[in-house]
Amino acid sequence: MFPNPPQIPNNAPPSQKCRKRVSHPSVPEANLGRKVAEPRKNVIHLQNYNNKFKKSTPRGQVALREIKKYQHKTDLLLPKLPFQRLVREIATDYKQDIRFQSAALLALQEATEMYIVDLFQRTNLAAIHAKRVTIMVRDMDLVQTLGEKRYESRYNPS
Protein backbone atom coordinates (compact mmCIF):
# COMPACT_ATOMS: atom_id res chain seq x y z
CA MET A 1 0.00 0.00 0.00
CA PHE A 2 2.69 2.52 1.03
CA PRO A 3 5.88 2.65 -0.94
CA ASN A 4 8.97 1.40 0.86
CA PRO A 5 11.22 4.16 2.15
CA PRO A 6 14.62 4.40 0.53
CA GLN A 7 17.41 2.56 2.36
CA ILE A 8 20.05 4.83 3.90
CA PRO A 9 23.58 3.42 4.23
CA ASN A 10 25.13 3.25 7.72
CA ASN A 11 28.05 5.46 6.79
CA ALA A 12 25.76 8.36 5.80
CA PRO A 13 26.00 11.63 7.78
CA PRO A 14 23.60 11.95 10.76
CA SER A 15 21.42 14.52 9.00
CA GLN A 16 20.60 11.99 6.30
CA LYS A 17 19.94 9.12 8.71
CA CYS A 18 16.63 10.65 9.80
CA ARG A 19 13.77 9.13 7.90
CA LYS A 20 11.65 11.50 5.95
CA ARG A 21 7.91 11.41 6.36
CA VAL A 22 6.38 9.40 3.59
CA SER A 23 2.84 10.08 2.57
CA HIS A 24 0.38 8.09 0.59
CA PRO A 25 0.79 8.67 -3.16
CA SER A 26 -2.79 9.86 -3.45
CA VAL A 27 -2.26 12.65 -0.88
CA PRO A 28 -0.45 15.72 -2.21
CA GLU A 29 2.82 16.58 -0.43
CA ALA A 30 1.67 20.05 0.64
CA ASN A 31 -1.22 18.80 2.81
CA LEU A 32 0.47 16.68 5.47
CA GLY A 33 -1.68 18.04 8.28
CA ARG A 34 0.68 20.93 8.96
CA LYS A 35 -0.55 24.47 9.07
CA VAL A 36 1.70 26.93 7.38
CA ALA A 37 1.77 30.33 9.05
CA GLU A 38 1.48 33.19 6.67
CA PRO A 39 3.67 36.15 7.50
CA ARG A 40 1.63 39.05 8.84
CA LYS A 41 2.42 42.53 7.77
CA ASN A 42 2.12 45.67 9.87
CA VAL A 43 1.42 43.77 13.11
CA ILE A 44 3.18 44.75 16.32
CA HIS A 45 3.81 41.70 18.43
CA LEU A 46 2.26 42.08 21.86
CA GLN A 47 5.36 40.92 23.71
CA ASN A 48 7.62 43.44 22.03
CA TYR A 49 5.00 46.14 22.51
CA ASN A 50 4.77 45.47 26.26
CA ASN A 51 8.55 45.49 26.65
CA LYS A 52 8.92 48.70 24.69
CA PHE A 53 6.20 50.64 26.52
CA LYS A 54 6.42 49.25 30.05
CA LYS A 55 4.21 50.97 32.59
CA SER A 56 6.35 52.82 35.08
CA THR A 57 5.30 53.73 38.58
CA PRO A 58 4.91 57.43 39.30
CA ARG A 59 7.96 59.19 40.70
CA GLY A 60 8.46 58.68 44.39
CA GLN A 61 5.80 56.02 44.78
CA VAL A 62 8.31 53.23 45.39
CA ALA A 63 10.09 55.39 47.97
CA LEU A 64 6.82 56.12 49.76
CA ARG A 65 5.96 52.42 49.73
CA GLU A 66 9.34 51.61 51.31
CA ILE A 67 8.88 54.33 53.93
CA LYS A 68 5.51 52.91 54.93
CA LYS A 69 6.93 49.39 55.01
CA TYR A 70 9.84 50.30 57.29
CA GLN A 71 7.66 52.46 59.55
CA HIS A 72 5.38 49.51 60.25
CA LYS A 73 8.21 47.03 60.83
CA THR A 74 9.56 46.63 64.33
CA ASP A 75 12.29 44.08 63.69
CA LEU A 76 15.94 44.87 63.10
CA LEU A 77 17.03 46.45 59.82
CA LEU A 78 20.59 45.14 59.75
CA PRO A 79 21.20 41.39 59.46
CA LYS A 80 22.29 39.94 62.81
CA LEU A 81 25.28 37.80 61.81
CA PRO A 82 27.19 40.42 59.77
CA PHE A 83 26.65 42.93 62.57
CA GLN A 84 27.91 40.44 65.18
CA ARG A 85 31.00 39.70 63.08
CA LEU A 86 31.72 43.43 62.81
CA VAL A 87 31.34 43.93 66.57
CA ARG A 88 33.62 40.98 67.32
CA GLU A 89 36.20 42.22 64.82
CA ILE A 90 36.24 45.69 66.39
CA ALA A 91 36.37 44.23 69.90
CA THR A 92 39.38 42.03 69.10
CA ASP A 93 41.34 45.22 68.31
CA TYR A 94 41.05 46.11 72.01
CA LYS A 95 41.15 42.71 73.69
CA GLN A 96 41.71 39.15 72.45
CA ASP A 97 39.35 36.29 73.40
CA ILE A 98 36.44 38.53 74.34
CA ARG A 99 33.00 37.00 74.72
CA PHE A 100 29.58 38.58 74.32
CA GLN A 101 26.21 37.61 75.66
CA SER A 102 23.54 37.43 72.97
CA ALA A 103 21.51 40.07 74.82
CA ALA A 104 24.53 42.41 74.78
CA LEU A 105 24.95 42.02 71.03
CA LEU A 106 21.23 42.63 70.56
CA ALA A 107 21.41 45.77 72.71
CA LEU A 108 24.40 47.03 70.70
CA GLN A 109 22.53 46.44 67.46
CA GLU A 110 19.38 48.19 68.71
CA ALA A 111 21.42 51.21 69.85
CA THR A 112 23.36 51.32 66.57
CA GLU A 113 20.21 51.21 64.47
CA MET A 114 18.56 53.87 66.61
CA TYR A 115 21.60 56.12 66.17
CA ILE A 116 21.68 55.60 62.38
CA VAL A 117 17.94 56.26 62.00
CA ASP A 118 18.25 59.41 64.14
CA LEU A 119 21.25 60.55 62.09
CA PHE A 120 19.36 60.16 58.83
CA GLN A 121 16.28 61.91 60.22
CA ARG A 122 18.35 64.92 61.25
CA THR A 123 20.23 64.82 57.92
CA ASN A 124 16.89 64.93 56.12
CA LEU A 125 15.87 67.95 58.20
CA ALA A 126 19.13 69.69 57.26
CA ALA A 127 18.45 69.02 53.56
CA ILE A 128 14.90 70.34 53.89
CA HIS A 129 16.27 73.45 55.63
CA ALA A 130 18.52 73.99 52.61
CA LYS A 131 15.39 73.77 50.42
CA ARG A 132 16.40 70.41 48.96
CA VAL A 133 14.85 66.99 48.96
CA THR A 134 18.02 64.99 48.40
CA ILE A 135 20.39 64.53 51.32
CA MET A 136 24.05 65.22 50.67
CA VAL A 137 27.33 64.56 52.41
CA ARG A 138 27.53 68.15 53.61
CA ASP A 139 24.16 67.73 55.38
CA MET A 140 25.47 64.70 57.23
CA ASP A 141 28.69 66.54 58.11
CA LEU A 142 26.67 69.43 59.53
CA VAL A 143 24.44 67.11 61.54
CA GLN A 144 27.41 65.19 62.92
CA THR A 145 29.16 68.42 63.88
CA LEU A 146 26.07 69.67 65.69
CA GLY A 147 25.35 66.23 67.11
CA GLU A 148 28.79 65.83 68.68
CA LYS A 149 27.97 68.48 71.24
CA ARG A 150 24.51 66.99 71.71
CA TYR A 151 25.83 63.52 72.54
CA GLU A 152 28.81 64.82 74.52
CA SER A 153 26.59 66.81 76.84
CA ARG A 154 24.20 63.91 77.25
CA TYR A 155 26.71 61.16 78.04
CA ASN A 156 29.65 63.02 79.56
CA PRO A 157 28.57 64.80 82.74
CA SER A 158 31.87 66.72 82.93
In this prediction, residue 156 has a pLDDT band, given cuts at 50, 70 and 90, of low
Quote the DSSP letter at residue 42. Answer: S
The beta-carbon contacts of 83-90 under 8 Å, at least 24 apart in sequence, are 83/108, 83/109, 83/112
Query: What is the predicted pLDDT for the residue at 128?
Result: 95
Query: What is the predicted pLDDT for the residue at 63?
Result: 86
The residue ranges of every structural domain in the chain are 133-157
Give yes or no for residue 95 having a pLDDT over 70.
yes
Query: What is the predicted pLDDT for the residue at 127?
Result: 95
Query: What is the predicted pLDDT for the residue at 125?
Result: 94
CA 117 – CA 111 distance, rounded (Å): 10
Q: What is the DSSP code string of 83-123?
A: HHHHHHHHHHTT-SS----HHHHHHHHHHHHHHHHHHHHHH
CA 151 – CA 44 distance, rounded (Å): 63
Closest by alpha carbon to 108, among 140, 86, 135? 86
Which residue has better confidence, 7 or 1?
A: 7
Say if CB 87 and CB 101 are below 8 A apart.
Answer: no
| Average pLDDT over the chain, rounded to an integer | 79
Counting residues of the chain whose pLDDT is more than 70, the rounded percentage is 59
- Least confident residue range of 29-38, 77-86, 135-144: 29-38
Which residue has better confidence, 44 or 72?
A: 72
9-53 pLDDT tens trace = 667 666 665 555 555 556 555 555 666 676 666 555 655 665 666
| Cα 115 versus chain centre, distance | 26
Give yes or no for residue 105 having a pLDDT over 90.
yes
Say if CB 70 and CB 77 are below 8 A apart.
Answer: yes
Counting residues of the chain whose pLDDT is more than 90, the rounded percentage is 43
